[in-house]
Amino acid sequence: MVMTGGTSGFGAIAAGRLTRSGQARLILGARRTAPDGDSIPLDLTALDSVRAFAAAVRERLGGTPIDALVLNAGVVRPDTTGRTVDGFETTFAVNHLAHHLLVRLLLPALREGALVVLTTSGTYDPATRAGLTPPRHADAELLAHPDHDPGRDPRPRKAGEQAYTASKLCAVLTARTLAGYPTRRLTALAYDPGQVFGTGLAKDLSFPLRTAWSLLGAPVLGRPLRRLNPHFNTRTAAGNTLADLVLGIAKPPGGRLLAALRQGRLTWPELSELARRDEVARALWEDSGRLVGLPVR
């Protein structure tokens, strides 16, 4: 198994479960040494680091196929001013482009029937009314270069929210493409853990928002909120559910690929209208490939 986002938050809980399961070896891509699994350096803000990580994974495995690829790492920023070393908007680059490149590079190493899980968010769908500005589109060129987007929200915070929710729409669209990949039989899932406070996701936000995020993740403050809002979940519930999906303990009903955790219970909702559009998924795959220097197919 290969995983990103497994060193903190609910991802670390999932990584611990996967390691203790004894079912497979876990390789984690991370900036720092992970408490569970084997670590290989990975910086998702640099595409060269993604390429080096993919090469190191294949070398370390020595031809052993990958059973599961878990793309869980993510960020949210207060605006869209950040740029990676490759010149792309940071939220979109980390949450989508780096993972797009990684899955494309590791596709030949995935065993037939392998599982790919991409962490998304209910905020990708306007119908969830999750509180963040929903995405307007999944145009990779405009998301990578928001200064070129004539419809970008001029308010920095709203633009930052939209960059995040659009990147999570891209996770669902990527899962759709992988589920129907023409040359490889795969199981692809988009996992929505709900709102999980107390993780490292908010580390780039303002001090008041970081403080609130941390406090709401505490058991005493978070428990009454979780009773009122079905989208709120604990780190433990989110991490264990992710592990259940990867280990095959929780399996999708026929034709479903979006797994959503609601008040600690796994559900399988319909995709949003935009996520169901074939031409949107196809354009995102092709344009993302071009942005990271890969062929269209």
* Assessment of whether the complete model's pTM goes beyond 0.85: yes
Helix (H) or strand (E) holding 172: helix 156-179
Average pLDDT, the chain: 89
The pLDDT of residue 34: 72
Higher pLDDT, 255 or 58: 58
Mean pLDDT confidence for 42-46: 97
Which of 66, 79, 67, 72 lies closest to 44, judged by CA? Answer: 72
Q: Is the predicted pLDDT of residue 265 greater than 70, yes or no? A: yes
List Cβ neighbours of 65 (8 Å cut-off, separation of 6 or more). 109, 110, 111, 114
Phi, psi of 114 (to 5 degrees): -65, 160
3-class SS of residue 11? helix
pLDDT band at 132 (very low <50, low <70, confident <90, very high): confident
Q: 285 or 196: which carries more pLDDT confidence?
A: 285
Distance CA 106, CA 279 (A): 24
Q: Specify the fold of 2-291.
A: Rossmann fold (3.40.50)
Query: Which residue(s) pair with 122 in the sheet?
Result: none
CB atoms within 10 A of CB 11: 28
Q: In the predicted model, is pLDDT for residue 244 greater than 90? A: yes
Q: Tens digit of pLDDT for each residue in 164-207? A: 999 999 999 999 999 998 877 899 999 999 987 655 665 665 65
3-state helix, strand, coil in the chain (%, to 5): 45, 15, 40
Quick one: pLDDT at residue 201? 65
The predicted pLDDT at position 131 comes to 79
Please report the pLDDT score of residue 263 as a whole number: 86
- Whole-number pLDDT of residue 275: 97
Please state whether beta strands 187-192 and 66-71 pair in parallel, antiparallel, or not at all (unpaired): unpaired
Q: What is the mean pLDDT of residues 131-158?
A: 95
Annotated domain spans of the chain = 2-291
If you average pLDDT over residues 273-282, what whole number do you get? 97
* Range 144-147 contact pairs with CB under 8 angstroms and sequence separation of 24 or more: 144/88, 144/89, 144/92, 144/93, 144/97, 144/291, 145/88, 145/89, 146/80, 146/89
Residue 6 has pLDDT above 90, yes or no: yes
pLDDT digits (tens, 9 = 90+) for 196-240: 765 566 566 565 555 554 545 556 555 555 555 667 788 999 999
